[in-house]
C-alpha cells in the first residue's frame, strides 16, 4: 500500500510542472473536487479543470517553476498540505493580456484530502490579486 504522502508528492510534482489531468489523474478520484477563494479560479470546481488550468498557465508563463517550502501529512484526517512558492515571467502569448515581461513570486498552499489512496478534494490557498498585480495584469 502506497502512503498518502507519496501519492500527494507525485501529484504535486505532476501538477506543478504542467502535466495537466493526463499526468495527475492516476492520483485522484475521477470526480475529485476543487475549491479556491481566488478570482482566476472562481469557476473551477473539479481537480481535472484545475490541473488543466495549471497546464495552460505554462503557455504564457513558460519558465514557470516552484520551490517546495513545506510538506506535511495529517494521517488522522487523511490530509496532506504542501506549501510552495511559484515563480515565472509572463513572456508567452495567451493569458489575460499580451506578454508583460513581468515576473511573479507567489506563495500558495494545497490541502489535499484523501479517500483511500486517491485525492478526493483539493483546496488551493492563494492570494491571486497580488500575483496578478506583480504580473502587470491589474
Residue 83 near residue 109, CB atoms below 8 Å: yes
Other CB atoms within 10 A of residue 116 CB? 11
Instruction: Kindly list the structural domains of the chain, giving each domain's residue range(s) and its CATH number in brackets, ordered by start.
Output: 4-134 (3.10.450.50)
The pTM of the full predicted model, rounded to 2 decimals, is 0.96
**What share of the chain in percent tops pLDDT 90?**
95
Residues with Cβ within 8 Å of 104's Cβ and at least 6 positions away in sequence, in order, are 61, 86, 87, 88, 89, 90, 131, 134, 135
Mean pLDDT, the chain, whole residue set: 96
Supply the pLDDT for residue 1: 59
| Structure confidence by residue, pLDDT tens digits, 16-64 | 999 999 999 999 999 999 999 999 999 999 999 999 999 999 999 999 9
Supply the pLDDT for residue 56: 96
Supply the pLDDT for residue 9: 98
Amino acid at each position: 500500500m502506497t502512503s498518502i504522502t507519496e501519492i500527494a508528492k507525485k501529484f504535486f510534482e505532476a501538477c506543478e510542472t504542467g502535466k495537466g489531468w493526463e499526468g495527475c489523474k492516476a492520483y485522484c478520484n475521477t470526480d475529485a473536487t476543487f475549491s479556491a477563494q481566488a478570482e482566476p479560479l472562481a469557476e473551477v470546481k473539479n481537480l481535472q479543470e484545475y490541473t488543466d488550468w495549471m497546464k495552460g498557465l505554462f503557455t504564457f508563463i513558460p519558465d514557470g517553476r516552484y520551490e517546495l517550502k513545506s510538506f506535511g501529512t495529517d494521517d488522522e484526517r487523511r490530509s496532506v498540505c504542501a506549501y510552495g512558492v511559484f515563480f515565472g515571467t509572463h513572456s508567452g502569448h495567451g493569458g489575460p493580456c499580451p506578454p508583460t515581461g513581468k515576473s511573479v513570486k507567489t506563495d500558495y498552499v494545497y490541502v489535499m484530502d484523501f479517500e483511500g489512496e486517491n485525492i478526493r478534494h483539493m483546496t488551493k490557498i492563494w492570494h491571486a490579486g497580488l500575483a496578478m498585480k506583480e504580473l502587470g495584469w491589474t
